[in-house]
């Protein structure tokens, strides 16, 4: 709540109140005040001049909730004559939304070389395919069949490339 337990009222130094606070996109400002006060959102120039005559928004419901939907500086004053000049003014700088990871996200990966990092190569590479572990015993053509057919084609391709080179 703006002004903490004092709310939006005369006699509070809102510059000091806001000084150590961080406002992010998605936060809300809640102004609670008596019927003697209002909340007017104004431009930077009107904030400096304490003028509510060209306010961007004006509220008098005594319990105003304002969503901070975009980054930038927002300016608020009390529109009751004399109140802004006596300190009822607030400027807040809204930062981009805080980056948060979803609860189900894994932790940041460890740097390469950490103990839990798998090796880059887990099996040695070969230039010829390994022999199949199962062989087909029935062949009507007498040629390579089943799992042997890809092996035979691979060997022919490798031998053919060697002969061309």
60 in a domain, yes or no? yes
Contact 29, 59 (CB under 8 A): no
Other CB atoms within 10 A of residue 51 CB: 16
Q: Please tell me what DSSP assigns to residue 5.
A: G
| pLDDT band at residue 57 under the 50/70/90 scheme | very high
Q: What is the pTM for the complete model shown?
A: 0.59
Q: Could you tell me the residue range of the domain that residue 54 belongs to?
A: 4-95
147 in a domain, yes or no? no
8 in a domain, yes or no? yes
112 in a domain, yes or no? no
Q: Please give the tally of structural domains in the chain.
A: 1
Q: Write down the pLDDT at residue 107.
A: 47
Q: What pLDDT, in 10s, does the model give residues 24-36?
A: 999 999 999 999 9
Q: Write down the pLDDT at residue 34.
A: 96
Decide if pLDDT at 115 tops 60. no
91 in a domain, yes or no? yes
Decide if pLDDT at 157 tops 90. no
Contact 33, 8 (CB under 8 A): yes
67 in a domain, yes or no? yes
Query: For residue 84, what is the domain's CATH number?
Result: 2.60.40.420
Q: Write down the pLDDT at residue 77.
A: 97
33 in a domain, yes or no? yes
The average pLDDT across 142-160 equals 49
């Amino acid at each position: 709540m703006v002004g903490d337990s004092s709310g939006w009222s005369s006699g509070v130094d809102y510059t000091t109140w806001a000084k150590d606070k961080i406002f992010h996109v998605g936060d809300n400002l809640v102004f609670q005040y008596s019927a003697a006060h209002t909340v007017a959102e104004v431009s930077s120039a009107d904030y400096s001049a304490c003028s509510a005559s060209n306010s961007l928004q004006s509220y008098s419901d005594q319990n105003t909730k304002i969503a901070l939907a975009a980054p930038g500086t927002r300016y608020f004053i009390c529109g009751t004559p004399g109140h802004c000049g006596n300190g009822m003014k607030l400027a807040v700088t809204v930062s981009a939304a805080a980056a948060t990871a979803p609860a189900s996200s894994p932790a940041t990966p460890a740097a390469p070389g950490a103990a839990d990092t798998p090796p880059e190569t887990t099996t040695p590479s070969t230039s010829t395919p390994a022999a199949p572990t199962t062989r087909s015993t029935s062949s009507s053509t007498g040629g390579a069949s089943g799992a042997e057919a890809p092996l035979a084609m691979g060997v022919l391709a490798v031998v053919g490339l060697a002969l061309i080179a």
